[in-house]
Amino acid sequence: MIDLRSDTVTKPTKDMLAYMVQAEVGDDVYGEDPSVNILQNKVAQLFNKEAALFMPSGTMSNQVALRTHSEPGDEVICDTNCHIFNYESGAAAALSGLQLFPVNGEKGILTLEQIEDLGRPFDHHFPQTKVVTLENTHNRAGGTIYPINEIKKIGKWTRQNDYGFHLDGARLMNASVATGISPKDYAEYFDSISLCFSKGLGTPAGSILIGSQSFIHRAHRNRKMFGGGMRQVGFLAAGAIYALDNHVKRLAEDHHRAKQLAETLDELGMLENEMKWTQTNIVMMKAPNGNADDIVVALFEAGLKVSLVNNHKIRLVTHLDFSDDDLERSIKILKKTMKDFN
């Protein structure tokens, strides 16, 4: 069975596991896990920020970031298709009393022009705008990359207005490898960034929140409040250190394979977006007849797992455990199975 549902399905490689097992560990709630401390310093340096905080999941990184930037009753401007709005179980409302203000971006990309009039002036009627959050790469839009010029413009505006500027960078390394723009060049414009290790980078779990010393100091308390304090978690941090050293450049292979899948779907008339939007490791397939669930089942029966986005849309994600042989087999399965749907 080939699994293209997500880049989270990978298992640690033998070398990563060997590196994890030898990690020196301690109680991280006391701040005494050497491997966690090494990882946090390494990531802070990589992003040219003052501090970083290891987290159990990307969702917790995002939610702790929102909480740290705001107070209950405040408002967060985001894109309609972003992960924070769609896939975090309503956490911003449930855990932090926040109101999200979703705006339709093109392929997940908001422009300054779209949002610059949405910041609320101080008035006793209004929620207070406190945070603007972007997602790079953008999952639900199909792995699209945020143009750095737009980030720059929005960043300038958020600074002028004293809004927190957060990046859901679960897959920021994919954007960085695809564009050649370094993590620190992206990070320059943001007050906080979350980065996941358990997606394209291939660790079993873990994410990290990056920001200034004072931001991370406050985030540390919020992480504890959200139940995210972990103990001898250096084994996972070691996996993340290994991934940063060994699994970043290879993301280009995932991007290359994703393009080949997209080309196949394009030939079959089933690519959701134009080719130019397949920019990293996510490919969106369309089911114009609203029968995406039947297609998912048929592909599963043929040996290919993919994930349902909605009745008209299916997602395929390439990753560390998806080889050239798997690519060849997947293309054959897609061509054969899709004959029944055309």
Ligand X SMILES: Cc1ncc(COP(=O)(O)O)c(C=O)c1O
Tell me: does residue 265 bind ligand X (CB under 6 A): no
**Only segment of 12-20, 55-63, 99-107, 265-273 that touches ligand X (CB under 6 A):** 55-63
Tell me: does residue 59 bind ligand X (CB under 6 A): yes
Q: Which is nearer to ligand X, 135 or 272 (CB)?
A: 135
Cis peptide before 179 (omega within 30 of 0): no
**Nearest Cα residue to 174 out of 164, 186, 188:** 186
Q: Which is nearer to ligand X, 60 or 334 (CB)?
A: 60
Q: In DSSP terms, which residues pair with 131 in a beta bridge?
A: 76, 164
Tell me: does residue 220 bind ligand X (CB under 6 A): no
Tell me: does residue 232 bind ligand X (CB under 6 A): no
Q: Which is nearer to ligand X, 284 or 338 (CB)?
A: 284
Closest residue to ligand X, judged by C-beta, is: 58
Q: In DSSP terms, which residues pair with 2 in a beta bridge?
A: 304
Q: Specify the DSSP element, H or E, that contains 78.
A: strand 75-79
At its nearest, how many Å lie between ligand X and the CB of residue 205? 8
Q: Which is nearer to ligand X, 133 or 337 (CB)?
A: 133
Rounded Cα–Cα distance for residues 130 and 99 (Å): 10
Tally DSSP H helices, then E strands, for the chain. 14, 12
> 106 φ, ψ to 5°?
-85, 120
Q: Specify the DSSP element, H or E, that contains 161.
A: helix 148-161
At its nearest, how many Å lie between ligand X and the CB of residue 253? 20
Binding mask 120-139 for ligand X (x = CB under 6 A): ---------------x---x
Tell me: does residue 170 bind ligand X (CB under 6 A): yes
Tell me: does residue 196 bind ligand X (CB under 6 A): yes
Rounded Cα–Cα distance for residues 93 and 171 (Å): 24
Q: Which is nearer to ligand X, 170 or 219 (CB)?
A: 170
At its nearest, how many Å lie between ligand X and the CB of residue 293? 21
Q: Tell which one of 67, 69, 83, 315 touches ligand X (CB under 6 A).
A: 83
Question: How many residues of this chain bind ligand X (CB under 6 A)?
Answer: 12
**Only segment of 52-60, 154-162, 234-242, 259-267 that touches ligand X (CB under 6 A):** 52-60
Rg of the chain over Cα atoms, rounded to whole angstroms, equals 20
Q: Which is nearer to ligand X, 58 or 164 (CB)?
A: 58
Rounded Cα–Cα distance for residues 198 and 40 (Å): 16
**Nearest Cα residue to 62 out of 172, 148, 151:** 172
Whether residue 148 contacts residue 291, with contact meaning beta carbons closer than 8 Å, is answered with no
Cα separation values, 57 from 50, 88, 126, 226, Å: 21, 11, 32, 12
**Only segment of 58-66, 144-152, 245-253, 307-315 that touches ligand X (CB under 6 A):** 58-66
Residues that bind ligand X (CB under 6 A): 57-59, 62, 83, 135, 139, 168, 170, 196, 198, 207
